[in-house]
A and B are shown apart, each in its own frame.
Chain A
Amino acid sequence: MIIEAIITLISVVFKVLFAWINLPQVPTEIVTSIDTYLDLVFNNLTFLGFFFRPVTFKIVATSAIALYLFSKLYKVTMWIYHKLPLSSN
């Protein structure tokens, strides 16, 4: 409840601060063209399933992301650890 109240307060502050800004939107033709292009690309991505097994790809991709994030997280953790006065370093 407290977290929700703080976040809601932040959003209220944002809304009050930027209420006076009212910039024009991107032209509809441009938005439509970009959406059409993205639809064309992503709707046809399923054909990639012909070149590798989707199940294998999901497992490998998930594992790869997890490994990449693990190394970054480890570095951040160690950086914080080194900043603490508890360490002999």
Chain B
Amino acid sequence: MNKIVILYLCKKLSDFLHGLKKKLKDNFFILLGLFLFIFFIFITTRVNAASNTLIVDGYDMSDVYTYFNEGESFYIAKIGSSYRLVVPQNTSYRKYVVNDGNCIVYANSNFSYLGGNNYKFYNYNSSTKKFVYGWTGAIDAWHSKDCIVAYSNNGVYNKDHKTFYAEPSVVFVEPYISNTDSDLVNQGTNRIIIFPGSIDLNSSIRFYISRYDKTDFGDDTFIYDNVVLFDTALNFGSDYYKSITEGGVLSEFWYEVPYSSMNVSFEKGQMYNFCLSYTDSSGEVCFVNRNIVMGSISETDKLNDNINKGFNDLATNMDKNTSEIIASNEKTQQAIKEQTSAIEENNKTNKNIFEKIGEMLSYINPFSENFFVYKLIELLLEMLKSLFIPSDNFFNDWLSDMNDYFSDRFGIIYYPFDLIIDFLTRVVDTCSNVSNNAVLNVPDFNFMGVTLIHSFTFDFNSLLVNDGLKTVYNIYLVVVDVILSLMLVNLAKNTFAEVFGGRFSDEIISDMTRSPKTNNDKE
């Protein structure tokens, strides 16, 4: 018995496998397409998941992507040695309140101004599932917004531990004195002009002038003593601060130190040091030195001055020549424009003359529409028309005039006719002004000074209070339309019978309603 059951099951299994094989063979391409589709979906999901991963200093913030909507941004900035990641505040972001030492992510509704650095912002595009980035300056509006700020000391990386945030590549420029050597030697201008470079206006630049006092011991042995003659700090609050603003925004600033304010007398042949010192971002003090021997200038400097002067003269001459060429060119363009205008005017005049001649010839051309005989006939027709056909309002005016005259002369006898005319006029006006505003206006009814009925207004449309009544009302209107149409058809039928002969509707109906004749009746 068991053997039979096993054999039966084996047979069934074999049949099933055989059928499955056949089905696979028949639907191979469909199954292949289905498999590729599922594979594609799987791969796409994985790739998206991979590209949506964000790790801030080892802390996985990949879930933050799931909370971004189209157009929302977050910002990454480097402030000093720490990185800050700023995302818009949303209650769902509060889950990122963590503190793991290096990386602190917390909700902060009143964090401090981030400073004057550039910030890289990422804007989420939900259709491409990617963040596009750009650069922005300091955003004061962050003061008033609830944001989440992620601090990290070591950088922001993506899943592959490649740099996700890149610090803006800003080239550092040292502060410098813009006066030339020869200008400093001879104090050609009455002030020293200092540009701050990359040092901002809140950071101080120390400017000092010192004199080298040389003590010679012979045998090429000597020492310099550096004696400071003038020393000042240059920043936003100093007296030497100068700036340009455009539209209320600071555009440029620099420092101007007049010689008169230094109270320093420079000796001819003496070497002086013009020094600028500042503290860089790492806290190191840096110096920019200019050593100048007063009252003397080297041959190289003279040569440079001459070359510069030559270049300046050349540039001036080039500017002058360029201006002259431009002026000459403008003059030529103006002359060409005037000439073109004159030619166009001439062409226009010639065209008008030819048009006039053509028009005159068309009057004597029998094949032209303007042939004078046609015009003559047209004129005669107009004359005949005006001779027999009255003007548009003649009959109306005449009837109105006669009506007034008869009403005035015949008085009480003519009033019934006047009333009929008025009645017909009202009927015509009413027929042309029938509208869907089914409003009944009842005025006051007074009798011997007593108001019997007060005036009121009743709108029939107010009866249609619900959709059910409106539907019934619409059906009623359709029925009325059908009845009116049938009546019109009946009238047309009777009119046709009256004019061209035939049977009227009532005759046909009476025939139909009469009892049919039987064979017995005929007999």
A86, CB-defined interface residue at 8 Å: no
For A74, the chain B residues whose CB sits under 8 A away are 499
**By the criterion of a CB under 8 Å from any partner CB, how many residues of chain B are at the interface?**
51
Bound-state Cα–Cα, A3 to B495, Å: 36
B437 adjacent to A46 (CB under 8 Å): yes
Residues A3 and B390 in contact, CB atoms below 8 Å apart:
yes
Please give, as numbers and ranges, the residues of chain B lying within 8 Å of A2 by CB-CB distance: 387-388
Given A26-B415, A68-B495, A70-B499, are A56 and B481 also a contact pair (CB < 8 Å)?
Answer: yes
| Alpha-carbon gap, A52 to B398, bound state (A) | 38
Known A-B contacts A7-B398, A48-B434, A50-B460; A71 and B411 likewise in contact (beta carbons under 8 Å)? no
User: What 4 additional pairs, Cβ within 8 angstroms, besides A4-B391, A54-B436?
Assistant: A1-B386, A2-B388, A46-B438, A54-B435
- The interface residues of chain A, by DSSP majority, are classed as helix
Q: A42-B430, A49-B436 are in contact. Are A56 and B398 (CB under 8 A)?
A: no
Q: Which of A14, A38, A51, A71 is within 8 Å of B422, CB to CB?
A: A38
Of A19, A53, A68, the most chain B CB neighbours within 10 A belong to A53
A residues whose Cβ falls under 8 Å from a Cβ of B: 1-4, 7-8, 11, 14-15, 18-19, 21-26, 31, 34, 38, 40, 42-54, 56-58, 60-61, 63-64, 67-68, 70-71, 74
A-B contact pairs, 27 of them (CB 8 A): A3-B389, A11-B402, A14-B402, A18-B409, A23-B409, A23-B413, A24-B411, A24-B412, A25-B412, A34-B419, A42-B430, A43-B441, A46-B430, A46-B439, A47-B440, A48-B434, A50-B461, A52-B480, A54-B436, A56-B484, A57-B484, A64-B488, A64-B491, A67-B491, A67-B495, A68-B491, A68-B495
Query: Given the complex of chains A and B, what is the CA–CA distance between A23 and B412 in angstroms?
Result: 7
Contact between chains at B443 and A42 (CB < 8 Å): no
The reply on B485 being an interface residue by CB < 8 A is: yes
Q: Are A47 and B438 in contact (CB under 8 A)?
A: yes
Tell whether A52 pairs with B484 under 8 Å between CB atoms, given A2-B387, A25-B412: yes
Interface centre among B394, B409, B419 (most CB of A within 10 A): B409
Contact check: which of B388, B389, B440, B495 meets A70 at CB < 8 Å?
B495
Q: Are A23 and B422 in contact (CB under 8 A)?
A: no
| CB <8 Å contact, A53 and B477 | yes
